[in-house]
Amino acid sequence: MKQYELMTIFKPNLDAEEVDKLIEKVNSVISDFGGKVESVDKAGRKKLAYEIQKFRDGYFSTTIFELSSEKVAEFKRQLRLNDNILRTMFMEVSTKASV
C-alpha cells in the first residue's frame, strides 16, 4: 500500500460539526476500501485565492493515509460525488532519499 496526502476544501456555509462529520465520512470511505488513516489536520476556515463555485473561503482539512493503488480511482470518484466538497488535491507521499 502507498501513502497519500489529501487536502480537502469544504463549503464555508457548513458549521464545524458538519465539517467534522464529513471528515469522518471521508475517513470511513478510506477504511471501507481497506486503507488506514494516519493523521488528520483540520486547518479551519481560510480565504481562497480565487472564487470557487461562488465561494471566497472554505474549511481546509489535510489527511494522510495509506491505500491500495487499485482503489485510488474509485476513492477519487467518491470524493467528486460529495456536493459539500469544493476542491481536493490528491498526492502520493514520496520518501526522501538519505544522503
Is 99 part of a structural domain of the chain?
Answer: no
Q: Order of strands across the sheet with 85-92?
A: 36-52, 55-67, 2-10, 85-92
Whether pLDDT at 83 is above 80: yes
Whether pLDDT at 22 is above 90: yes
Give residue 98's pLDDT. Answer: 66
Confidence tier at 93 by pLDDT (50, 70, 90): confident
Is 42 part of a structural domain of the chain?
Answer: yes
Whether pLDDT at 61 is above 70: yes
Segment 32-47, tens digit of pLDDT: 999 999 999 999 999 9
Q: What is the mean pLDDT of the chain?
A: 91
Structural domain containing residue 8: 2-92
Inter-axis angle of helices 16-32 and 72-81, nearest 10? 150
> Is 23 in contact with 43 (CB distance < 8 Å)?
no
Q: What CATH number corresponds to the domain at position 40?
A: 3.30.70.60
Model-level pTM greater than 0.85?
A: yes
Confidence tier at 97 by pLDDT (50, 70, 90): low
The number of distinct structural domains making up the chain is 1
